[in-house]
Copies of this chain bind each other. A is one copy, B any other.
Amino acid sequence: MTLVLRYHEARSRALFRELDANPSLLLLGGAVALPFNPDDGLLERYADRILWPPISEFATAAAAIGAAMAGLRTLVPISTSSFMFYGWAPIVNEAPNVRYLSGGTVSAPVAFHVMAGSRRGGAAQHEHTPQAMLHNVPGLRVLAPATPADVDAAVHGALTGDDPTVIVDNVRLAEFEGPLGSSPADIRLPTLLRDGSDVLIVSYSLMVQQALLAAGLLANQGIAAAVLDVAQLAPLPHAELLAATERHDTVLFVDESRAAGSPASHMLARVVQARPRVTARLLCTLDAPAPFAPALVDAIVPGPAQIAAEVRALLGR
């Protein structure tokens, strides 16, 4: 019997499991589910495992990295992803250098959790997609789960792996349901969530769920769309990505990031380099800061209808 959970339930379950498995694991702040997702009781249940820092993102991020070097693993719930820009220097220019500069003798296994993407109503300063910057940093591991199984694997990978890791989460994933295996999956492996021979849609995080909805719309129109979920954005699993895309000659890459620098543009480049005859297209959020009004957000962020329309355009149907 497979366990089926909502995304937010799977996230809490994974987090509690890791907290129980590693009694010294410390949280620097507690805003993982809260304030935007249902309260999972983390704050009461693990009150003694949470240290609440002042609003000091730089020192908090750096402290987490320093603690990791000294043997204390922490998870830093940064909440809205843009707050991490205040702690950008340690995250992109300290943590990822530790292993390299020490020749592998020292590591900084620390995990950051951020809520990225358009949650609606966050506006220009609260709806970023920092993965489009983070995946450029060698030494950082960037995980962007889309499903309950993904988030289970991402939390496990981030809290037991040996790399500084950022979990790029999305508030709007909370209610999506999905099956979980008996143990956490390998987050590095792309997952084919739906098969279909006409087109392959490659994506990650919330856009995978939007792609699945689009695939449903397309099926009604006689178009069979496959959906591939690539949850580890950095280091990008090249070989696995190529293997998973090789049966399709038409591939749409969908990303909530703006196109310039997007993980999708990098995946597209990798795929067309290896297979020059593929017809590839990119569908991203348009080049504007996040507007406040939901209707305006819908005008720039891809949803199922836009994805389906793009597929039809790509197939000429």
- A residues sitting closer than 8 Å to B (CB atoms) are 82, 85-86, 88-89, 92-93, 96-97, 100-101, 123-125, 128-129, 132-133, 135-139, 233-236, 257-263, 265-266, 268-270, 272-273, 276, 279-282, 287-289, 291
Contact = CB atoms under 8 A, between A and B. Distances in A.
Q: Which of A88, A101, A128 has the most CB of B within 10 A?
A: A88
A267 to B, nearest CB: 9
15 contacts: A82-B89, A85-B88, A85-B92, A100-B288, A101-B289, A132-B133, A132-B261, A136-B257, A138-B258, A139-B289, A265-B265, A268-B272, A269-B280, A272-B272, A273-B281
A100 B86 contact: no
A125 B135 CA distance: 17
A247 B218 CA distance: 36
A128 B89 CA distance: 12
Nearest to A83: B89
B261 A269 contact: no
A96 B289 contact: yes
A48 B88 CA distance: 33
Nearest to A279: B276
B259 A261 contact: no
Contact of A289 (B97, B234, B266): B97
A124 B97 contact: yes
A81 to B, nearest CB: 10
A59 to B, nearest CB: 12
Nearest to A90: B85
B261 A261 contact: yes
Contacts of A133: 132-133, 136, 261
A282 B289 contact: no
Given A100-B288, A125-B93, A269 B259 contact: yes
Contacts of A265: 265-266, 268-269
B86 A89 contact: yes
Output the residue of A235, A257, A273, A279 with the most chain B CB within 10 A: A273
Contacts of A86: 88-89
A79 to B, nearest CB: 15
Contacts of A100: 124, 288-289, 291
> What are the nearest 9 A-B pairs in CB distance?
A136-B261, A133-B133, A88-B88, A85-B89, A265-B269, A261-B261, A97-B124, A135-B260, A132-B136
